[in-house]
Amino acid sequence: MNNEIKPKNSTRRLIAGILLIVGAALLIIQSLGVFGAYAMGSISPGITAGFWGLLLAAAMIVQGIYYIKTKCAYKNKDFEWAWFWVYGILAIIILGSNAPRYFSDLGNVWPIVVIILWILGYRWGQDQRDLIDNQKSNDKVQPQVAKTTKQDAADEIMKYKRLLDANAITQEEYDKKKAELLNK
């Protein structure tokens, strides 16, 4: 069974993935500048702000690669919402710290960029419904019934006949097993 579903609009997802990676590259450059400038002055909160920028850039790169990799097919809707939680947790940590005081773009510009690109790459409408329907159909357990063919039964009877000839089982055990196999 093929679990992959083809999205209706893979170009939008590809563009979002590329823009996330390009944005991450810009954020890395900006974060390294903030990190280096505050490191020279030994200002610890500024250094931490640079670190948070690098961490956000790493998340953007991973999401960009995920969007590009899954632009044509996808299997799991849970990863779509995982990004929401990753960015939510990062936002709470970054905005809850005093990092935006030392790195203003981290609190003003980058959250907006990330939200726009996440929305751009997210599967909306029919793509999301197709994915949910596919997962529901895959979650249903298909019972598998073991069927014994006539050839399998004949092979089993021959095996028990050899055991009977070798006096490993009694005639009574052989007859019982033979009747059991023939009645299947």
Question: Average of pLDDT values for 100-113?
Answer: 80
Residue 29: band (very low, low, confident or very high) from pLDDT cuts 50, 70, 90: very high
**pLDDT value of position 182:** 83
Nearest alpha carbon to residue 31 among 51, 16, 58, 11 = 51
Is the pLDDT confidence value at 23 over 70? yes
CA distances from 23 to 17, 33, 54, 87 (A): 10, 15, 12, 15
- ∠89-90-94 over CA atoms, to 5°? 120
Residue 145: band (very low, low, confident or very high) from pLDDT cuts 50, 70, 90: very low
**pLDDT value of position 25:** 92
SS3 25: helix
Is the pLDDT confidence value at 104 over 70? yes
pTM score, two decimals?
0.57
The Cα–Cα gap between 179 and 174 comes to 9
**pLDDT value of position 154:** 84
CA 84 to chain CA mean position, Å: 14
The Cα–Cα gap between 31 and 53 comes to 5
DSSP tag of 74: B
| Percent of the chain whose pLDDT exceeds 70 | 71
Which residues is 5 bridged to in the sheet?
A: 74
The Cα–Cα gap between 133 and 4 comes to 12
**pLDDT value of position 59:** 85
The Cα–Cα gap between 75 and 91 comes to 27
- 114 and 60 Cβ atoms separated by less than 8 Å: yes
Is the pLDDT confidence value at 19 over 70? yes
Residue 47: band (very low, low, confident or very high) from pLDDT cuts 50, 70, 90: confident
**pLDDT value of position 117:** 78
Is the pLDDT confidence value at 3 over 60? no
125: left (phi over 0), alpha (psi -120 to 50) or beta: left
Is the pLDDT confidence value at 183 over 70? yes
